[in-house]
Structure formats: structure tokens, C-alpha cells
Amino acid sequence: MTLGRRQNALCIVQRSFGDYPRRLLDGSFLDVCLAEKVPIIHFFWREPGALVRRAKEAGAIVLQTVASANMARRAVESGVDVVVAQGWEAGGHVRGTVATLPLIPAVVDVVGTTPVVAAGGIADGRGLAAVLALGAAGAWIGTRFLASQEATIHPRYRERLLSATEDDTVFLEELFDVGWSKAPHRVLRNNTVETWEAAGRPPSGARPGEGEVIARSGSEGEIVRYRCYTPGTDAEGDIDALSLWAGQSVGLVSEIKPAGEIVAQAQSTLGKLVQKS
């Protein structure tokens, strides 16, 4: 496969995972990843079952996100190499309802020697130190990197992140669900959320503004209200009304930095905390 075809194939996989996660379970997207010798495979939504064995037989390192100790136990039994324990504080799509602090030790206690990566509510070296103390081997940091120089998100989305506080997010069972239904998520509170709440939180099919085109993207086309969509740099329209994914750690995000500097600063803070202990 040429470089251009490889980039197209991986782009298709990325978009398909984001918009149509149910199709993951037929294994066709995994086939593309394994054919391209992708070294690390991460299963996030739903339990992958036999796909874990297929990935490992092809030589990949396999991660799986879980939201409870029971899910972690099943993940280890299926053969995953690393368990990602995602707490309720996380931004974007959220697997469960248990917060990171009680979740991490519960998962660590049942997975034996399998490494645990903590996710949800971690934005700096202090959060990293906390989850390491709970037994995690590392941290999965998301929201903080949305404010990195490398993140290709819309400038207005980034502005909202930088000005948000820890109580500006909202956990929703199902709101930004066009393209990905029945998938709870956490976003910044915006006018779409507030209008829906003012209408009494009606179910899909009865929500205000359904089907209304509120933005357009050169790569994604028309974006309707309630669509599961990460505002990219080519989006135009009512950016504030889109799904602005963010975790509760957003209150710790106040400036744009290169990703490498964010990592280095977290390591430095961790080192200082370890010296104090």
C-alpha cells in the first residue's frame, strides 16, 4: 500500500470509529489496522471479545478501556495487555458512572500484574501523582491536550476550553447522539444543552431544533444540531452550539502549550511531589 493509500485507510478507520462504533465489532476496521501493522490497538466502546485475540496474534499491544472492576476482570481474561480505567470525570464519551478516585484501586485490585492506566480528571503532574499512588502505572490525559499547539480543533472551541472552570461541564446520557446513539458523554455546557434543558429534557425525536443545520465543515459537510462531532479547524457556523467535549479537569487548562512541554511539566511536577513525600 502506498503512503497516500495508507493515510486514506487510517483516516477512514478514524472517522468510522468515531461515527459508527458499532461497526467495530465486525472486525473490518481491525483488519485495516493489522494489515498496516499498527503496533498498538485500543478498544474503547463495548467489549471486543475475540477481536483481542486476533490483534494479539498479529503482534499488536492491546489496550481496553473499562469502567468497573468487573469489566477489568473480563478484559484481563480476554488477554489484553493494558487496562485503561476511565472515571466519570472524563470528557467526551464516558464508559461508566464511577469516579476515578474509587475506580482505580478497585481495578488495580482485580487485574493482577496487568498494568492499569488511569483516565478521567487528570490534567497535570498532581493528578498523575494521585493515580500512581492509587496503583496505576500511568495516566491517560485528554482534555489538557486539546489546548496543545498540535490539537487541530476550532479556535472558538479552544477559547471555550481555556475560559472554562471545573463546574462548566455536564454529563449527558444521550444528547449529542446523531451518528453515535446510546453513548453517554461529557461536554461543556452550551446553548444547545441549555435550550434542551429548558424544554424539559425531551427525548430524541422531540428535542428543539432537531435536524437544523448549525454548522458546516469542508471535510464533514453539514453539521446538524445534536450531532456527535468534534469542531475542527475547517468548521463554520455556530461553533458554540456543537458538542464541545471536555472533562472536569478543564478548570486546570488555562494556556496553550506544545504537547511535549505539557508532558515535561507534568513529569517535573511529579518529580517534585515524589521528593516531598
Residues 45, 130: one domain? yes
Residues 134, 180: one domain? no
pLDDT of residue 24: 56
Over its C-alpha atoms, the chain yields an Rg (Å, rounded) of 19
In a domain, 91, yes or no: yes
- Please list, in sequence order, all residues whose beta carbon lies within 8 angstroms of the beta carbon of residue 263, skipping any fewer than 6 positions away: none
Residues 68, 111: one domain? yes
**Is the per-residue pLDDT at 3 higher than 90?**
no
In a domain, 123, yes or no: yes
In a domain, 153, yes or no: no
Residues 178, 124: one domain? no
In a domain, 158, yes or no: no
Residues 141, 63: one domain? yes
pLDDT of residue 176: 98
**Helix-, strand-, coil-residue percentages of the chain, each rounded to 5:** 40, 20, 40
Predicted TM-score (pTM) of the model is 0.89
Residues 179, 137: one domain? no
Share of the chain above pLDDT 90, in %: 83
**Is the per-residue pLDDT at 53 higher than 90?**
yes
- The single-letter DSSP state of residue 168 is S
In a domain, 183, yes or no: yes
Going 150 to 152 to 153 to 159, the CA torsion angle's sign is positive
CATH number at residue 139: 3.20.20.70
Q: Exposure of 14 by Cβ count < 10 A (0-12 exposed, 13-18 middle, 19+ buried)?
A: exposed
Residues 53, 108: one domain? yes
- Please list, in sequence order, all residues whose beta carbon lies within 8 angstroms of the beta carbon of residue 252, skipping any fewer than 6 positions away: 123, 124, 144, 166
Q: Are 243 and 228 in contact (CB under 8 A)?
A: yes
Residues 122, 59: one domain? yes
pLDDT of residue 28: 78
Give tens-digit pLDDT for 157-187.
Answer: 999 999 999 999 999 999 999 999 999 999 9
DSSP string of 39-79, one letter each residue: SEEEE-SS--TTHHHHHHHTT-EEEEEESSHHHHHHHHHHT
**Is the per-residue pLDDT at 14 higher than 90?**
no
Give tens-digit pLDDT for 82-120.
Answer: 999 999 999 999 999 999 999 999 999 999 999 999 999
In a domain, 86, yes or no: yes
Q: What would the grid cell of residue 200 be?
A: 424539559
Number of domains the chain is built from: 2
In a domain, 24, yes or no: no
The whole domain housing 186 covers 169-245
Residues 119, 210: one domain? no
In a domain, 119, yes or no: yes
